[in-house]
Amino acid sequence: MRDQDAPSIAERVGGPLIFGLGGLASLGWFTVQLYILLSSFSGQIITFDKSAFYLLGVGGGLVVLAYATTKEALLRKVLTALEAKVLTRIGIVSLFLLFALPWVVEELVEWVLIPKGYQICEAASHVWLLFEQIVFVAPGASCIKE
């Protein structure tokens, strides 16, 4: 590679930084929403943020990209065969989770809550593109728009 073809320092630092921060933010938001969901299971109103569960796959993929770009672009080292194999597998699992996890978790939440008498409160639930928030109310609880 000639000097004029080499990426600038801004490109070498910017890519890993954006991928890393995006991955950590995605994984953080997923973790917060998972905690909120699990801690609210004994309450009268349970809010399930389905869209947050897409972020586990997104975060995993971005962390893989951050690692690879840090090593290859910033440190200018080549990934070993083992690193490439592990990162590829993590990327494939992340891609699978991106599409499957939100639907599986939604079914699990309904499978647990509906037999306990919880109902979906259509007035408080809402959907916009991939953003979906489903509100479940306990038996006897009021279903009003929050």
- Domain residue ranges of the chain, discontinuous segments joined by +: 3-137
* Chain segment 39-54, per-residue pLDDT in tens: 988 889 999 999 999 9
Q: CA dist 41 to 29, 55, 111, 136, Å?
A: 19, 21, 13, 10
Element (H, E) at 55: helix 55-69
127 closest CA partner among 57, 48, 72, 40: 48
Q: Model's pTM, two decimal places? A: 0.84
DSSP one-letter string for 35-50: HHHHHTTTSSEEEEEG
End-to-end CA distance of the chain: 59
pLDDT tier at 1, thresholds 50, 70, 90: very low
* Chain segment 74-125, per-residue pLDDT in tens: 888 999 999 999 999 999 999 999 999 999 999 999 999 999 999 999 888 8
